[in-house]
Amino acid sequence: MASKYTDIFTGTLQAVRRQMPYGDLSPGIVAHDLTRRAAALYEKIRSFIDYQDENQIKRRVIERIIRRKALFGKRESTGRAILEELVGIGYLPNDAVPESRAHEVQHIVDYYNTLSTVDARNKSFRSWTISLASVEVHELLFDHSFDIASVEVLRSVLRDNMKFDEEMSIDRKEKIILVAAHRVLFEASLIEQYFALWKHEHNQRKLYHDTTDASYYVLSFWKEAQDIIEDNVVWTVTNKIKDEAIAVKLIREYAHQYAGASDIFADKHQAAESMKHFLEHTYKKESEYVRKNGIRAVIYLLFTKMILAILFEIPIDLWLIGKIAFVSLAINIIFHPLLLLFITRRPLGFSADNTEKATAKALGIIDGHVNPIYVKVRKKTPYELAYFLLYGLLYAVTFGIIIGALHALDFNPVSMILFLVFLALVSYFGVRIRSHALRYKVSTGKEKILSMLGNLFMLPIVRMGRYLSTKFSTINALVFIMDFIIETPFKLMLKVFNDFLYFLRDKREDVF
């Protein structure tokens, strides 16, 4: 028997599909196989240099095109360019996307360009509106119907069963649940979390027949949304609902297998067997994902470290001590790739017990039986200052031990800095790769003492890596060169070459 939650899933899925645009009779956008291969190869190189999660790659391509067009003052052709490049890379099917869709994409880009003029002197705000445009274009061009249905189910489950230990407004609770749901279901990026709140804002205004132009409230929304996203309660909720999110993802995958048919949840035995089979397949796939990304990152790391050794470490060694310090040089080149290889080659720890627990959680939602979820909101205490001092001491002890060991190995200051920077980045990316692969691992609530102590020691290093990753991504000179110096003429050359190939084909056909 279907429950409230399965009805929400199938109802939302059908409603979203009714709103999806269907193909028309206008010509499809076409790319020659030769140019498609060249574009796909370039994209692989580009994604290798600027490492991104797989679920972000297509959206980031869209964002790059919008930024490139804005930089060169050619916004009016952005919609067409986005479709052509996505077809050219192979992210959209060849000769299947109607040319008329370019007008819809252009409308979105123009809308957010207009919003950006509300505070045109604020570079952060302008950049934010471009990123929002990329999310909406991505949602238009790719099928998100099952994702939207999944969010609605999880939100409904949390509304009914989540209990906070302190009072908060219904509106704030709704927004916290919305952001947490996107984080835990899709590992949503920061801009995708903003977009989820932006859509929620529009839906609420439509509900109350508020026709106020968005330009009047976009700045206030930006600040209020930032306050929600940065609220520690969101992180608390995200960590608390991981098991429920796994259950919803299993429901989504099961529904996707049967194309979202409305009666698929009637046979619970079939659903359970299908979910178990999916999990067993996923365990193997996630292990392969970790190994593949680990090897890719190790190769990139070795390449980067050798360049840095030639450019910085060897000249500084010769300048300071008159010879090459082979011990520190070898450690700096080899240690971090080996560490990353160790992190990504460790077993993920999936088990039959995990499969049973995850399936039981999903069946509970299908039946409408969900256990209460208690969220304890962390409150400030008189000992807050002491906590910060202890946290700072943890940083000092962790990095103090590492620096002491490097000093004993005769590392010079530059070698030490490079070692610490790469240690932080490697630890963060290694943990991120593993956590992505553990999306279907149910929490046990137990932690071994040795594991807890290891995590305590690694926490400052991983957090430092996260901070450095964020900062480096904004000043990555190589990415800037790829985006604006190499990519622009390369994509123009591909477009001209693609058109020329079809021109030759037409001329050849004229002969016959």
pLDDT, tens digit, for every residue of 393-444? 888 999 999 999 998 888 888 788 888 888 888 888 888 878 877 888 888 6
Long-range pairs, 92-97, Cβ under 8 A, ≥24: 92/29, 92/141, 94/28, 94/30, 94/31, 94/36, 95/28, 95/29, 95/30, 96/23, 96/28, 97/28, 97/29, 97/141
Alpha helices in 258-325 (DSSP H): 268-308, 314-320
pLDDT at 30 over 50: yes
Higher pLDDT, 204 or 487: 204
Q: What is the mean pLDDT of residues 152-161?
A: 94
What is residue 41's predicted lDDT score, i.e. its pLDDT?
63
Higher pLDDT, 85 or 200: 200
What is residue 10's predicted lDDT score, i.e. its pLDDT?
87
pLDDT class for 249, splitting at 50, 70, 90?
Answer: very high
What is residue 439's predicted lDDT score, i.e. its pLDDT?
85
pLDDT class for 6, splitting at 50, 70, 90?
Answer: confident
pLDDT at 22 over 60: no
Q: What is the mean pLDDT of residues 153-158?
A: 95
pLDDT at 223 over 60: yes
Q: What values do phi and psi take at 462, rounded to 5?
A: -65, -40
Q: What is the mean pLDDT of residues 64-87?
A: 82
What is residue 491's predicted lDDT score, i.e. its pLDDT?
58
pLDDT at 480 over 60: no
What is residue 237's predicted lDDT score, i.e. its pLDDT?
94
Average pLDDT, the chain: 81
Which residue is it, tokens 């399936």?
Answer: 359
What is residue 477's predicted lDDT score, i.e. its pLDDT?
45
pLDDT at 315 over 90: no
- Angstrom CA distances, 484 to 168, 428, 470, stand at 46, 28, 21
What is residue 290's predicted lDDT score, i.e. its pLDDT?
80
What is residue 426's predicted lDDT score, i.e. its pLDDT?
82
Hey, where are the domains in the chain?
A: 28-142+476-506, 283-348+380-474
- pLDDT above 70: percentage of residues in the chain: 78
pLDDT at 268 over 70: yes
Q: Which residues in 97-222 belong to E strands, given as ranges?
A: 162-164
Which residue is it, tokens 């060694």?
Answer: 317
The pTM assigned to this predicted structure is: 0.80
Q: What is the mean pLDDT of residues 490-506?
A: 55
pLDDT class for 333, splitting at 50, 70, 90?
Answer: confident
Q: What is the mean pLDDT of residues 173-202?
A: 94
What is residue 104's predicted lDDT score, i.e. its pLDDT?
92
- For the chain, what's the residue count? 512
Q: Which of 2-6, 128-132, 310-314, 495-499 has the lowest mean pLDDT?
A: 495-499
Higher pLDDT, 71 or 220: 220
What is residue 475's predicted lDDT score, i.e. its pLDDT?
43
pLDDT at 327 over 90: no
